[in-house]
Amino acid sequence: MRSQVRSGARLRRTAITVALVVLCLLVVGRITGILVDWLWFSSISYADVFWTVLAAQVLLFVAVFAVSASAIWASGFLAHRYARDLGFSQVSAAFSFGRSAAISDLANRVAPRIRWRAAIAGVAIVLGLLVAASEISSWDMALRFIHQVPFGERDPIFGKDIGFYLFSLPVYIALKNWLLRVLFCSAAVAGAVYAMRGDIAIEQLPRGLSPAAAVHGSALLGLFFVLKAWSYGLDRFLLLYGDNGVVVGASYTDVHVVLPVLWLLVGVAAAASVASWANMRWRSYRVPAVSVLLVFGGSFAFAVIYPALFQRFYVKPSELQLETPYIEHNIALTRKAYGLEQIAAKPFPAEQGLNLASLQANRPTIDNIRLWDVQPLMDTYAQLQEIRTYYKFLSVDIDRYLLDDGYRQVMLSARELDPAMLPANAQTWVNLHLLFTHGNGVVMSPVTEKSTEGLPSLYLQDIPPVANGGPAIREPRLYFGGGDQDYVIVKGNVPEFDYPKGKDNVYAAYSGHDGVAVGSLARRSLFAWQFDDPNILLTSYITDQSRILFRRNIQDRVRTIAPFLSLDHDPYIVVSDRRLFWMQDAYTTSSWFPYAQPGIGDGGNYIRNAVKVVIDAYNGTVDFYVSDPTDPILRTYQRIFPGLFKPLEAMPKDLQQHIRYPEDLFLIQAQLYRAYHMDTPEVFYNREDLWQFPQELAGIDGGNASMPMPPYYTVMRLPGAARAEFVLMLPMVPSQRENMIAWLAARCDPPEYGKLIVYTFPKEKLVYGPFQIEARIQQNTEISQQISLWNQMGSRVIRGHLVVVPIENSILYISPLYLRAASGQLPELKRVIAAYGDRVVMEETLGEALAALFKETTPAAMPRGTADARAREALAHYDRAIERLKAGDWSGFGSELDALRPLLEALGAGRPADQK
């Protein structure tokens, strides 16, 4: 017997020791994580942000833990204080009534050993810690509640400022849910104490409850009904987020039936709480039973069944008439939530008046028609410019630069280092963390040009970067970028690999501002523990000057500093002031905007591109610039973090020239605008003018399946604008139809940045849409025969994306065609397909395609075959203009057109060309 006792004691001591060791490791891990974060935030001059977030988390944790643990302990202590003081045999009998002898024996052995107050305190502490830990993530919500700013507009049902829904309502709901969890834990602890003390005998209810247990249960039930009454009160505001298939937000039934019912249920729940507290004196089981039945039965009957019947038999037959005001609320507030009300609608005649003179007048647009698609160009970059296996192009970005040959749209990609691509035997710790530390340079090419072999012309190429028409780069090294970026240690006694040069390598040393000092033994131990890498502690390559660079993935870097911002999927590289920078669009979002249609992936229904983030690719500095100072969510964060955000005017002027409208936001807005361009309730209800994204064919042989056309950037002169500008655009087609009905454009250049315009076509006129043009291309005998011939010769044809190019009041369609050897990875741009009106042509270059497209349509006024010398002269000028266009000689093309114009005018007027 004694040996069993000693064995049990040893097991208990072992278990306690293991638990303490695990707890210590968790605490140490948490402390070291906080310390590393503090060092990192301090190194990038954002220590204030770190302390604000940490203080909010600590205060929230402490407050929630204190209240939760105190409430749970008080409930358990009261149960212990007033429970019956039975003998142990009576406890066992009460606890195990109707149970097996094993359970009875267990109760007899456990109950005498319980130290009730210590046990209750321990359980309260554990449950309090669990509840508090689950609430730490709400620090953001709490700070927004405290520092909230008004929105400036009110909801149409309750007349509350929309800021109440964005900042206060989520906190009230979270607070209600937390109190319910605490109440449940308190009831569970009290119930366990009463059960173990013999005050509850399940099989003998209601007589199985002692007076103390009945009083305690009634008190807790009364608190539950108070919270339930508050919950019904909050449910009134949640009506503004409902969706009955016709209206998103409160509908006719919600306002006229559900809202009064919720007020009724608030009263019923309040009465039930009073009755439950009164039952502390009566101690009858009937009172709580009736209260529960009234509250939950009434909720089901009046809040579920009655509204459904009312909706079906009263609202449905007159749905449009009754729901019209609420449809108007949904349209107005959805447009407000996504910024759709700022879209300016303009007519687009969609005429067929395009000619060679129009092309010359819109030369900046023609010069920037994109012929290179992202994937073929990335494959080409990889084959021509990765240089070594450990370099990699992770993405291709689209931007515009003012270069020597004008305002040009370009595609560029950063040459980043991918240590995983090193040979297996070279993936040593020294190579991965000390030697191979950074990428080098970018590749840049114009979107329209190609070589005679069908390869892109390169404005920037090689290592170190060589400029051939592109911007020069003085500091090409990229220590921060995309992909998986592990930590590196710089300023050690190992030179960093910079780039290969012939048979030798060139080495460099980091002289930037980033990094946390890691030279001391304490720092090395800290980071060795944090990164679970003892080499940091053991290596002899670290010096007193060494610094460790981590969080080198730019999006991870931004999210760590500002986790409350949502990031666009596509950060893009910018060459500015001979240096490399990453630009990242960031959004403020919410799921709490009333009456707004959810349109964001996580169920959100409000979005603003409120912040532009700039990350130095060499120094790692991160700057947050305010791009939408009117956004109330951002204004709230400016109050929370006063030193985090800078005005957009503080961004360097050259970087401001590379701001672009973000594609993710544009896509969300376009998706919503398909329906919400209809601002008349009757039209919206019937979906009479619903739009959709056009379909296109792309990929090998054009692909067998269609796909929605994505938005794309282009440089063009908008109708009525004075100059060409960088825009993001997307065509639209009617629902279930393929003809084009409109196109949506977002302007990217200052000072018009952020303005959206939708150009709508006449509904009585047929304008071919992208998918119809795709069908005409496939039906073209010459094109289909050429594609079949190439495929039979061992090559694979890749159809590029179709580009819709608005020029003045007309629409031009351009699509590239690439050729790739069946066993090769180097796509070549071999043909350009152009379509206008009823004509489709395919030629080797864009200039030749345009010349062929307009050769027969433009000179209709020229009298071919006449003996008039003026006609022959005009024809000669026209033919030479076509030759210049095919050759890409825009200067010569313009000169010939200038000479052609007076001859045509003279022929039209029937007078000599030199007559004034």
Q: pLDDT tens for residues 280-308?
A: 888 888 899 999 999 999 999 999 999 99
Chain centre to alpha carbon of residue 235: 29
Strand partners, 819: 797, 828
> Alpha-carbon distance 859 to 841, whole Å?
18
Q: Parse the chain into domains and list their residue ranges.
A: 22-193, 210-328, 338-367+664-849, 389-552, 553-658, 855-916
pLDDT of residue 82: 86
> Alpha-carbon distance 417 to 415, whole Å?
7
Instruction: Tell me what percent of the residues of the chain surpass a pLDDT of 70.
Output: 87
> Alpha-carbon distance 911 to 642, whole Å?
74
- 3-state per-residue secondary structure call for 533-601: CCHHHHCCCCCCCCEEECCCEHHHHHHHHCCCCEECCCCEEEEECCEEEEEEEEEEEECCCCCCCCCCC
Top-confidence range, 632-641, 778-787, 874-883: 632-641
CA distances from 234 to 149, 288, 658, 835 (A): 21, 24, 46, 58
What does the pLDDT look like over 889-904, one tens digit per residue? 666 666 666 666 676 6
Query: Is residue 147 pLDDT above 50, yes or no?
Result: yes
pLDDT of residue 821: 82
Average pLDDT over residues 656-680: 96
Question: Are 439 and 487 a contacting pair, CB within 8 Å?
Answer: no
Top-confidence range, 103-117, 346-360, 600-614, 781-795: 600-614
Instruction: Tell me what percent of the residues of the chain surpass a pLDDT of 90.
Output: 70
Chain mean pLDDT for the chain: 88
pLDDT of residue 858: 45
> Alpha-carbon distance 835 to 816, whole Å?
12
What does the pLDDT look like over 714-773, one tens digit per residue? 999 999 898 999 999 999 999 988 999 999 999 999 999 999 999 999 988 889 999 999
Q: Is the dihedral of CA 680, 685, 691, 693 positive or negative?
A: positive
CA angle 555, 558, 563 (to 5 degrees): 110
Query: Is residue 703 pLDDT above 60, yes or no?
Result: no
Average pLDDT over residues 326-349: 96
* Three-class SS state of 95: helix
> Alpha-carbon distance 697 to 249, whole Å?
38
* Three-class SS state of 461: strand
Q: Given pLDDT bands bounded at 50, 70 and 90, which one contains residue 568?
A: very high
Q: Given pLDDT bands bounded at 50, 70 and 90, which one contains residue 707?
A: confident
- 3-state per-residue secondary structure call for 394-446: CCCEEEEEEECCEEEEEEEEEEEECHHHCCHHHCCHHHHHHHCCCEECEEEEE
> Considering only 74-88, 256-270, 343-357, 531-545, which range has the smallest mean pLDDT?
74-88
User: Which 8-state DSSP code applies to residue 343?
Assistant: P
> Alpha-carbon distance 707 to 698, whole Å?
8
pLDDT of residue 658: 97
Question: Are 509 and 494 a contacting pair, CB within 8 Å?
Answer: no
Contacts of 462 (CB under 8 A, 6+ apart): 385, 387, 441
Q: Between these two residues, 592 and 911, which has the higher pLDDT value?
A: 592
Average pLDDT over residues 699-704: 58
> Alpha-carbon distance 556 to 244, whole Å?
39
Q: Which tokens is 209 given?
A: 């409850």
Q: Which residue in the block uniquely carries the two structure tokens 């060679």? A: 356
- Of the CA atoms within 13 Å of residue 397, those in its CB half-sphere come to 27
> Alpha-carbon distance 480 to 583, whole Å?
12
- Of the CA atoms within 13 Å of residue 704, those in its CB half-sphere come to 0
